[in-house]
Structure 1
Amino acid sequence: MKVLSPRVWLPLFAALLTTGCSVFGDNGVESAPYTLLKADTSQNIEVRNYDSMILVSANMAADGRNSAFRKLFKYIGGENEGAVSIAMTAPVIMDTANKGKEIAMTAPVFMSNRPGDSMMSFVMPKDFTLQTTPKPTNPELMVTELNDYKVAAIQFSGTLSRSNVAKHTELLQAWLSANGYTSKSAPIEAGYNGPLTLPMLRRNEVLIEIN
């Protein structure tokens, strides 16, 4: 499974959370809400159900991760259809030309690296629906809805290095087998903090959709 290297990761999240993060781990953005179904605190594993999530996604395979991030970043900053200004949850530095409807950023940023389906997705604020989410002006972006998205997630600190992601993916898969769960998807990565956050205080996750 491919992961974002520090060379790619740093410029992405430096732009995203420059003013919304700190060295102490507070990213200052709304987190996607979910219902906790089961928790194993000894291994930092949770079974969750996301009732509904609106995702705006860009293909990472076509133009690369940096390009996908820039397209999504421009979308939440105004490259969308709409005229009502919405205060940003985490202010960001960006070009405000052709400004439309500003959209608050929500954590985490999801990255799926499945063959043929390499996507980066921003989660929309919880009050957005498929009908009310502003349409992207960039035709390469997709707006989708996830309903009753049941996942197992393992949380860990440090960086989203290849070895760290692989280690925690293996731990999560072993836990699923031991607890009678069946995987429905390949693992995806989720990041919550910017590069200014001290590695030991960062929140990273690997999620696997389950039955």
Structure 2
Amino acid sequence: MGMILGKITVETPKHEVLQSTNEYEIRKYPSSVIAEVTYDPTQMNGNKDGGFTILANYIGALGNPQNNKAESVAMTAPVVTQSKAEDVGEKIAMTAPVVTKEQRGGVAEGGEKKMITMQFILPDKYKRVEDAPKPLDERVVIKEEGERKYGVVKFSGVASDGVVKDKVEGLRIALEKDGYKVIGEHLLARYNPPWTLPFCRTNEVFIPVE
């Protein structure tokens, strides 16, 4: 019942709030270890969350853990997803952080293919890549993200493309008005499972800043 009503019962990333306004927070996140998968949504029947099952299998959320230690890894929140454009034929860079964003699959104008990267942030006990069990599925990449700083806005409801776009634009304007330099693309973080009532869901848009 708690999760249906939006209660977050799993570990969330530690962070420091550097500034809080009526419009946003500035947060600093320490280094963390993540598991990520990058995929073409056109190969997943257009499902923007098509990487979830791959990552869930790695940690053992859907059955036996698909890693070299057969070690169950605790689920954390949020699930992070980011869409990005890649030149067709080029190798996909595995360096982008993630949260959730709608996107169009297939080849876009200008010969670019839209790709999606989804990440699970591993529990804090995994301090280094070497500490985490090795995935059996080669599509899963384990890597470390260094310290980073974001402007963040929180909202409830369904994180549709239109809602996310409005939140991103509003956050970007507010940050630039206050003198922050935006240094990357936005991320969308979702903290609740799909069965949580929409008005009880917690979502956040992140924009990296200097």
**Would you call these one fold, judging by a TM-score over 0.5?**
yes
Residue 29 of structure 1: aligned partner: 10
Over aligned residues, Cα RMSD in angstroms? 1.6
Residue 106 of structure 2: aligned partner: none
Q: Secondary structure at the match of 2:31?
A: strand
- The one-letter amino acid of 2:177's match is A
Q: Secondary structure at the match of 2:124?
A: coil
Superposition misfits of 4+ residues, deviation over 6 angstroms: none
Structure 1 position 124 matched with structure 2 position 122: yes
Normalising by structure 1, report the TM-score.
0.77
Q: 1:28 Cα shift?
A: 1.3
Normalising by structure 2, report the TM-score.
0.78
**What percent identity do the matched residue pairs reach?**
29
Inter-partner Cα distance in structure 1 for 2:80 and 2:125? 19
- Conserved? CA contact 1:151–1:208, under 8 Å: yes
Residue 35 of structure 2: aligned partner: 56
Inter-partner Cα distance in structure 2 for 1:148 and 1:126? 14
- For residues 103-142 of structure 1, what are the alpha-carbon distances to aligned partners after superposition, in whole Å with 9 as ceiling and x for unaligned? 0011101111121252000000011122201111111111
Higher helix residue share: 1
Inter-partner Cα distance in structure 1 for 2:49 and 2:176? 35
Inter-partner Cα distance in structure 1 for 2:15 and 2:49? 28
Inter-partner Cα distance in structure 2 for 1:183 and 1:202? 27
Residue 20 of structure 2: aligned partner: 39
Structure 1 position 72 matched with structure 2 position 55: yes
- The one-letter amino acid of 2:50's match is S
Inter-partner Cα distance in structure 2 for 1:207 and 1:131? 28
Q: 1:35 Cα shift?
A: 1.2
Inter-partner Cα distance in structure 2 for 1:27 and 1:165? 21
Inter-partner Cα distance in structure 1 for 2:29 and 2:177? 23
- The one-letter amino acid of 2:73's match is I
- Conserved? CA contact 1:27–1:194, under 8 Å: no
- Conserved? CA contact 1:61–1:119, under 8 Å: no
Inter-partner Cα distance in structure 2 for 1:47 and 1:184? 14
Residue 157 of structure 1: aligned partner: 156
Inter-partner Cα distance in structure 2 for 1:75 and 1:186? 27
- For residues 22-73 of structure 1, what are the alpha-carbon distances to aligned partners after superposition, in whole Å with 9 as ceiling and x for unaligned? 2221131111111111111x22x21111111111001132643443111101
Inter-partner Cα distance in structure 2 for 1:57 and 1:34? 20
Inter-partner Cα distance in structure 2 for 1:198 and 1:118? 25
Equivalent residues, number:
173
Residue 170 of structure 1: aligned partner: 169
Q: 1:202 Cα shift?
A: 1.1
Q: Secondary structure at the match of 2:123?
A: coil
Residue 98 of structure 2: aligned partner: none
- Ranges in structure 2 where 5+ consecutive residues have no aligned partner: 87-114
Q: Secondary structure at the match of 2:130?
A: coil
